[in-house]
Amino acid sequence: MALIDTAKNDVTNVFLTDFSEAITYNPDGSPPKSIKALVEYDDNLELTLYDDGQAVEELCTIHVSTADVPSPSRDDTFDIGSYTYRVYSRPSYDSFGVLSLRLARYAFAEKSARDHRIVR
């Protein structure tokens, strides 16, 4: 077995199995299916003040097997936890059978009854 074959095997059998989480892929016009993905959430480490009703964009990157998501489109959605994300940018493919895809969800900032800023 060549080194490239070993690397491909490790990616699919180790990283996308042991270190991934189950998410739901909702392809446009097809039934949803549960897949495994590595999810990288974008960290917003700065203090941001939002106006009431302002849309807040939350981004993440997922890494999935090309066998699970062969050709994503802009209308596809992914359910990660209790949130639904939409395809944000074009996919990036690598030679190991992994697709990297940027996703976005839009939340809305509002003021709570106790005058705290919350994002829903």
How many other C-beta atoms lie within 10 A of the C-beta of residue 96?
17
**pLDDT attached to residue 43:** 78
Is the pLDDT at 120 greater than 80? The verdict is: no
- Dump pLDDT digits (tens) for 82-114: 999 999 999 988 877 889 999 999 877 666 555
Give the domain range for residue 45: 3-119
- Dump pLDDT digits (tens) for 16-59: 777 889 999 999 989 999 999 999 988 766 656 666 667 778 89
**pLDDT attached to residue 31:** 95
Indicate the number of domains in the chain: 1
Output the domain CATH number for residue 98.
2.40.10
